Structure 1
């Protein structure tokens, strides 16, 4: 990978890692469903007038928008609104990798490797430790909702695999056109017109900047650069960079939000990271070990 593209990958990881701190800032002034509506409205408009619609049937565009955009962020924003710390949210959300694996095996017939199952067990034990430390800064409801968000992200990944090769940035932009109306409807039903009106009338600069960041930096810039990297390099070379998102998320939330993890949560976070690493690199390392031992693969 060229130094320029390596820098672009770092930009994406930092943008996505800081995303969780920005969500917390946005939620201080705007309720979760309204925040989702405003984010995706700004991400879709005016970008759809400049980016051509991806060449795929409407049903797949709807499926993508309703899962990876609406479903994922409705659960994630709600989780962080009810007590999920930003740093832990950035980590737990990466369990989408395991949902993707199992949904691919169930729906697409893909094969699960032993390293995938081992990584899942290690990560699940980490999530259990994190869950045991609920209360105070983190609630079980927040943890459960974040896992639901990861499941929706995993389903969105399966839909992306089904549509095949497509312009990722165009998919994100046009997929962002799907969630605003459902988000506004959920906000009306769950948060109420009075809260919507008061939030919009009293919206502060920090909330406005948070929405702008979520729409343009985390969504358009992040996915735009990510799609460029995926078009130039094998997915196996680019995907592991996403493992750094929780590192940025945890460190930035500790620095900017003064979030502190208990020893049990730190142990759980470490286990989740180890599980994710085993999932990504385990098969390759196991294959090399067998080669060194002189055994057939």
Structure 2
């Protein structure tokens, strides 16, 4: 991969890692479901007038929107609102990789490799350590809600994988924009219902510059620019060359939260985070390393 594209990948990592701090900032003046509604409103308009609907089944658009957006971000934003540290959320959310494996095995009959099982085991121990440290700078409810968000993300990955088996070429940026319509409406309804018209009206009338920045960042930087650059890399290079960059996102999340939010993890949370990320590394690189050990560098 040329240096230019490595730089693009690192830009995406920084955008997505910093995203968790921006969520925390946005929630200071806007309730979580309303913040989600505003995010997807900004994603949809005005882009929907310039981007054609991708030629994929409507059911895939709807299912992706509900899992990737409504479940993932609804739970994630709520988790941070009730006390989940932004940096730690960026780590815990990465367990989506293992929910992806579970759903892929159940829905697509994909088989697990031994290294993936080993990675899942290591990551599960890490999650247990993080969760059992609740009360030490982290609310248990926030941790559980973040796990629920990871479930939605994992399911949405399988939706895309199944769709790609039936449709040869999909413009993923267009797919994301069109899949944001239903979440925009769903979050607006959920916000009015659960957060209440008074709270919603008060937040909208008193939108601060920080809140507006958060909405625009989440919509344009994290969603449109991030996904636009990411899908561009995936079109030019094999997925196994691009995907490992995403392992850097939690570390940017932890670093930015430490510097900008003064969040500090306790020792048990650090150990759990390292184990979780170690499990992810084992999942991504384990098979290649085992092949290299058995057959030598040329076989890997």
Asked if these proteins are the same fold (TM beyond 0.5), I'd say: yes
Question: What is the alpha-carbon root mean square deviation over aligned residues?
Answer: 1.4
Report the alpha carbon displacement of residue 178 of structure 1 after superposing the two structures with TM.
Answer: 1.4
User: 1:203 maps to what in 2?
Assistant: 207
Deviation digits for residues 203-227 of structure 1 (CA, Å, limit 9, x no counterpart): 1110110100000000000000001
Give a deviation string over 1:231-250, Cα, whole Å, max 9, x none.
Answer: 10001100111000001000
Secondary structure at 1:179 match in 2: helix
Give the match's secondary structure for 1:178: helix
Partner of 1:173: 177
Cross-structure match for 1:214: 218
Cα shift readout 1:82-103 (whole Å, capped 9, x = no counterpart) = 1110111101111110000111
CA distance in 2, matches of 1:108, 1:81: 35
Partners of 1:50 and 1:90 lie apart in 2 by: 32
Q: Name the stretch that deviates more: 282-291 or 115-124.
A: 282-291
Residue of structure 1 equivalent to 2:43 = 43
Q: Which residue of 1 aligns with 2:269?
A: 265
Q: Which residue of 1 aligns with 2:227?
A: 223
How do residues 138-177 of structure 1 correspond to structure 2 at under 5 angstroms?
Answer: 138-164=138-164, 165-177=169-181
Ranges in structure 1 where 5+ consecutive residues have no aligned partner: none
Deviations 1:145-189 (A, max 9, x none): 101101100110111111114111111111111101110111111
Query: Hey, what's the Cα distance between the residues in 1 that align with 2:137 and 2:77?
Result: 16
Determine the C-alpha separation between the residues in 2 that align with 1:274 and 1:7: 24
For residues 35 and 137 of structure 2, the distance between their equivalents in structure 1, rounded to whole angstroms, comes to: 21
What is the rounded CA distance, in whole Å, between the counterparts of 1:33 and 1:113 in structure 2? Answer: 38
Matched length = 295
The residue aligned with 1:5 is: 5
Instruction: Check conservation: 2:136, 2:266, Cα contact below 8 A.
Output: no
So what's the TM-score if we normalise by structure 2? 0.96
Aligned to 2:279: 275
Specify which of 233, 236, 240 is matched with residue 236 of structure 1: 240
Alignment of 1:113-132 (within 5 A): 113-132=113-132
Q: 2 CA distance for matches of 1:85 and 1:190?
A: 23
Q: For 2:196, what is the secondary structure of its paired residue?
A: helix
1:112 aligns to what? 112
- Tell me by how many angstroms 1:136 deviates: 4.7
Q: TM-score, normalised by structure 1?
A: 0.97
Structure 1 residue 291 displacement after superposition:
2.0
The 8 Å contact of residues 137 and 265 in structure 2, kept in 1 or not, is answered as no
Q: Distance in 2 between matches of 1:213 and 1:224?
A: 14
Deviation at 1:33, TM superposition (A): 0.3
- Structure 2: runs of 5+ lacking an equivalent: none
Contact 2:37 2:188 in 1 (8 A): yes
Offset, 1:137? 2.6
For residue 28 of structure 1, give the secondary structure of its aligned residue in structure 2. coil
Partner residue, 2:256: 252
Divergent runs of 4+, >4 A: none
Question: In the aligned structure 2, how far is the partner of 1:23 from the partner of 1:12?
Answer: 17
Contact 2:89-2:146 at 8 Å conserved across structures: yes
Separation of aligned partners in 2, 1:237 and 1:178: 32
